């Protein structure tokens, strides 16, 4: 195993993003480059100690600004669900099932308790229920497994969660590639249908190549716009979540964190606005 893989094996695999990275493996990559070992609330002191031993660095206290991550599982109040699919899109391990305009539900045994599904829900019908050491659901966070059997069970669940996360990412990449290919094919068919038969000459291969380049640019612009929309939505969700958590009278540290989140949200929104006109003209 590489150093990054060994580090990743010590992380809880909630993919919650509280460390500031979009998943456990990116944080493992940062740790391998010297990033602080105290940014993982789901891992807690147990993970900090394990990382310190592996990386031969001092044990330090968990960064309190990263929030908390108790053992928990998401639960959808199904009678209130409107079937918007936003929680399904947010879940990093595909632990929520349902369809558009139909009720959604959480597969409790697969849920990592990351809480990423809560903020996107427009009707606030998702609760996070606490887990205990005696629960039938194996807690994935640190500090809950005390004996060898519990540690082995948790390790297996973490490996399983990592695999589900990787499979989900692979599926999303395939779907995006398919969509881009379909967009390119439609652009080519449209270009072909607009070309009169009598215009077929020796320079047609050049025109076809130009159309392909245009289609590729349009697909790239669409992908960039989609990514910017997601980034802007996540920035707003993080800002709203922080505002709710800090309450009406945040302290100086919390005010600084809010200012940083507000700046990130503004930058993400500016990036989105900058891409929208570019996308509209990308195929020209």
- Give the pLDDT confidence score for residue 202 in this predicted structure: 47
- Give the pLDDT confidence score for residue 236 in this predicted structure: 77
Along the chain (284 residues), what's the average pLDDT of each consecutive run of 10 residues? 95 96 96 97 96 97 94 95 95 96 94 96 95 82 91 95 96 94 87 61 67 80 79 74 77 85 86 69 44
- Give the pLDDT confidence score for residue 272 in this predicted structure: 81
H/E element holding 127? strand 126-130
- Give the pLDDT confidence score for residue 215 in this predicted structure: 78
Which letter, b or e, does each residue of 233-264 get, where b requires 16 or more Cβ atoms within 10 Å of its Cβ? bbbbbebeebeeeeeeeeeeebeebeeebeeb
DSSP letter at 105?
A: E
* The pair of three-digit structure tokens given for residue 269, joined into one six-digit string: 């929104």
């Amino acid at each position: 195993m590489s150093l990054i893989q060994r580090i990743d094996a010590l992380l809880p695999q909630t993919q919650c993003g509280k460390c500031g990275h979009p998943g456990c493996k990116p944080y493992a990559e940062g740790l391998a480059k010297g990033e602080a070992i105290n940014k993982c609330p789901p891992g807690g002191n147990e993970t900090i100690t394990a990382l310190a031993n592996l990386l031969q660095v001092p044990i330090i206290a968990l960064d309190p600004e990263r929030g908390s991550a108790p053992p928990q599982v998401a639960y959808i109040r199904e009678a209130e669900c409107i079937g918007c699919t936003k929680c399904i899109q947010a879940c990093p391990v595909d632990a929520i099932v349902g369809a558009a305009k139909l009720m959604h539900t959480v597969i409790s045994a697969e849920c990592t308790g990351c809480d990423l599904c809560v903020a996107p829900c427009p009707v606030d019908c998702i609760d996070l229920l606490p887990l205990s050491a005696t629960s039938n659901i194996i807690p994935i966070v640190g500090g809950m497994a005390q004996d060898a059997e519990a540690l082995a069970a948790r390790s297996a669940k973490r490996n399983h969660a990592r695999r589900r996360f990787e499979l989900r990412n692979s599926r999303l990449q395939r779907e995006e590639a398919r969509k881009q290919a379909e967009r390119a094919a439609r652009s080519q068919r449209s270009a072909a249908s607009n070309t009169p038969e009598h215009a077929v000459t020796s320079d047609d291969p050049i025109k076809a190549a130009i159309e392909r380049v245009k289609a590729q640019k349009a697909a790239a612009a669409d992908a960039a716009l989609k990514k910017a929309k997601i980034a802007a939505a996540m920035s707003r969700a993080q800002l709203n979540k922080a505002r709710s958590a800090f309450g009406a009278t945040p302290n100086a540290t919390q005010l600084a964190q809010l200012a940083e989140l507000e700046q990130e949200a503004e930058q993400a929104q500016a990036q989105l606005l900058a891409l929208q006109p570019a996308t509209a003209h990308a195929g020209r």
